[in-house]
Structure 1
Amino acid sequence: MKFHPRYAPVIFGGLLSTIMVSVVSGLLLFLNEGFHPGFAAVWLKNFLSTWPVVFPTALVVAPWVRRIVANLTLPIP
């Protein structure tokens, strides 16, 4: 399935936030509690409680970060 390019920022924010929350929540859970029988359920609960905050944050912050990066890097010839 392909989406119209106008949805690219939302898709980017959704994928980036999903990957970041998955990795960070899983790593922090592992470091704090170790791997245990209820790990997946606790991880999913943590993921579902933090992703709704991270997704809109990524949508708001991504354009700002892109502008900063553009100002810090040379243009492609």
Structure 2
Amino acid sequence: MSLYVTPPLSKQGVMMLPQRFSNILFSFILSGLMSLLVSGVSTARALGINPELPGQWIHAWLPAWALAFPTVMLLVPVVRKTVAALTSTR
């Protein structure tokens, strides 16, 4: 008897995460994409378009993502409550 549990796979053979991790995965992807976009625009505006921009962008993005991910994790419940208070089911 093996103690190792094989994770579920998609039709394409990609490992799937259990549903209980969906909020964390959502926050991880959202914070990564938003921090990538904002840091790219900010870096390009501050330093101009130049051959070193991709490297400068990555150096700006990684620390931004490190801050954005836990921030999103903390703010999602507050934002959901705010949205629920501002919307109607009718």
For normalisation by structure 2, the TM-score amounts to 0.79
How many aligned positions are there?
Answer: 76
Matched, 1:39 2:53: yes
Q: Residue in 2 aligned with 1:69?
A: 83
Answer with 17-26 or 3-12: which moved more.
3-12
Equivalent residue of 2:16, what SS?
coil
- Cα shift at 1:34: 1.5
Question: Which structure has more RCO (C-alpha within 8 Å, separation ≥ 6)?
Answer: 1
| Residues 19-53 of structure 1 deviation map (CA, whole Å, 9 limit, x = unaligned) | 11000000011111211010010000011111111
Structure 1: unaligned runs, 5 residues or longer: none
- Cα shift at 1:14: 0.3
Q: Residue in 2 aligned with 1:15?
A: 29
Equivalent residue of 1:48, what SS?
helix
Structure 2: unaligned runs, 5 residues or longer: 1-14
Cα distance in 1 for partners of 2:32, 2:39 equals 11
Equivalent residue of 1:37, what SS?
coil
Equivalent residue of 1:74, what SS?
coil
Cα distance in 2 for partners of 1:15, 1:61 equals 15
Q: Flag the structure with larger Rg.
A: 2
Cα distance in 2 for partners of 1:70, 1:3 equals 28
Instruction: Identify which of 47, 54, 57 aligns with 2:71.
Output: 57
